[in-house]
Amino acid sequence: MTVELLYTLFEWVALVAGVACVWLLIKQNIWTFPIGLLFSVVTLAVLIAQKLYANSIETAYYLFMNAYGWWWWTRGQQDTGAELPVTRMPAPWWFGLVVLGALVTLALGRFLDSYTDADLAYIDSATTAAAFIAMWMSARKYLQSWALWLVVDIAYVGLYLYKDLPTYAVLYILYLGLAVVGWRAWQRNLNTAT
């Protein structure tokens, strides 16, 4: 098997695992996390080969966040005896998260631009910073995570088309639709819980 064929296979595994992972997240099914781990492992290999290092760091972060989300959702069930509820992120946190995202973008972009052969260092870093925040919000079951995912998904469609990764571009187009479905589903869950 050639390296190119292996990466194509990885891209298709990532596409299937990625869609399944987000669908399970929408359904608030804890199996989103182990499938997210599979997605992260295969995607990491592809992104490193494409020299999208900030995106690779993001994917490594997904490995950690899938473990964290799995633990957090399980802990919520153990503490209350019920499923961890969907909630709204406290409004004052937005400013801090925007500042954090900007700082991560600038620091990571500068590092990658100065010390690596990274392609699109600042764009890659901005999408990575936003996705870091969105993933953390999803693991905490904050409704607004879906709005941030919409922004991230739009940016990634453009990035992956530019980098000639059409399978990942299709994945993020699918994610766009799933983010809308996820927002609506979690919104209904939030409304019935209050």
Residue for token pair 């973008």 = 105
Work out the pLDDT band at 8, boundaries 50, 70, 90. confident
Instruction: Check whether 143 has a pLDDT greater than 90.
Output: yes
**pLDDT for 6:** 77
Torsion of CA 29, 31, 35, 37, to 10 degrees: 110
Q: How big is the CA angle at 140 (ends 58 and 26), to the nearest 5 degrees?
A: 85
pLDDT digits (tens, 9 = 90+) for 80-113: 666 778 999 999 999 999 999 999 999 999 999 9
Of 72-76, 115-119, 149-153, the range with the highest mean pLDDT is 149-153
Instruction: Check whether 123 has a pLDDT greater than 90.
Output: yes
Q: Which of 144, 163, 160, 143 is nearest to 28 (CA)?
A: 143
Instruction: Check whether 152 has a pLDDT greater than 90.
Output: yes
**pLDDT for 154:** 97
Percent of the chain with pLDDT over 90: 55
Instruction: Check whether 76 has a pLDDT greater than 90.
Output: no
β-sheet bridge partners, residue 168? none
Torsion of CA 72, 48, 160, 103, to 10 degrees: 60
